[in-house]
Amino acid sequence: MSPDPSHLAPATAALLQCSDAERIAAMREERWITYPRARHALELLNDLLARPRTTRMPGFAIYADSGMGKTMLMERFRRAHPASFDSAERRLVTPVLALQMSSHPTERRFYGQLLTTIGVPFAPRATILDLETQALRNLRRMEVKLLMLDEVHNILAGSAKEQRIMLNLLRYLSNELQISLVCLGVTEARQALGGDVQLARRLDELLLPRWQGYEEFQELVVAIVRNLPLKERSQISARALRQVLQLTDGLTASIFSMFNALALEAVASGAECISDESIAAWQPTSRAAVAFA
């Protein structure tokens, strides 16, 4: 008799018909799991993208510790708004453009990175003015409405002068192209962006704190477990959830990694569920965070 899949999300329930090896392979793949906090953040970003264009576009500064899922949130939003090809004008229309700030961003490196991201070749010895002109022309043609910048705290790697130049550059791009900026980084990013008062005032802060509260954390765990293709329903007590928080330091990536490991063990052992006992016995094999948080 087939197992009852009512405890799983529909797409995950379909995996119960697969072999153990196939289920294990599916659990090891990078995937997106929607949970309330992420859903709220995506709703805010969608609202920002829908705003009419003005000379002073609002934006967001998203702050969180490493491992809280900032980068995956950015990737999820970017993939939800893919580029499309305008065959009439033979151009790519890209509403959302995302890139990661280099380890030591400068004006030249930033424009070069921007042009590389959109696939535009440029001369290695081109002047900053030439790079700027190329970038502005192509971003207008692509109708970019929202620019997402990950690891924005890397601005602090530069000198005080370089930091001012970078912040002026970001504000200039937003004004000139009438685009919204979404800057993501660790807490130090607030210090980086605070170097330009005008820019900082346009960016509403969105904090992604480490998991603490029971009710919100329970919603996250429910979302995770519903997307793990285990044949039996997992029963996890409040005490076990507190153990999870202690073992993972409340980091989203570590929480996903832990439950994924527990699910793999459940398939291998034949238990087919995650229990208080398996949580109590769990030991992390490494401190590395998985990529699908």
Question: SS3 for 78?
Answer: helix
Shared-domain flag, residues 54 and 113: yes
Predicted local confidence at residue 207, as pLDDT: 93
Q: Pairing relation of β-strands 180-185 and 59-64? A: parallel
Specify whether the CB–CB gap between 207 and 63 falls below 8 A. Answer: yes
Structural domain ending residue among the three candidates 179, 208, 237: 208
The pLDDT tens digits of the residues spanning 250-274 come to 999 999 999 999 999 999 999 999 9
Residues 242 and 169 grouped into a single domain: no
In this predicted structure, what is the pLDDT of residue 290? 42
Mapping DSSP to helix (H, G, I), strand (E, B) and coil, where does residue 290 land? coil
pLDDT, position 215: 84
pLDDT below 70 — which residues of the chain?
1-3, 286-293
Tell me what pLDDT residue 1 has. 42
Confidence (pLDDT) at 2: 53
Among 153, 176, 208, where does a domain finish?
208
165 and 49 inside one domain: yes
Give the residue ranges of DSSP H helices in the chain: 10-13, 20-28, 36-49, 70-80, 107-117, 128-141, 160-177, 188-193, 197-202, 214-226, 238-248, 252-269, 276-281
Taking Cα atoms as reference points, which of 168, 124, 120 lies closest to residue 144? 120
Asked whether 229 and 8 are in contact (CB, 8 A), the reply is: yes
pTM value > 0.85: yes
- Residue that finishes a domain, picked among 176, 208, 240: 208
- CA angle 176/178/180 to nearest 5° reads 120
The predicted pLDDT at position 286 comes to 57
pLDDT in tens, 156-170: 999 999 999 999 999
pLDDT the model gives residue 291: 39
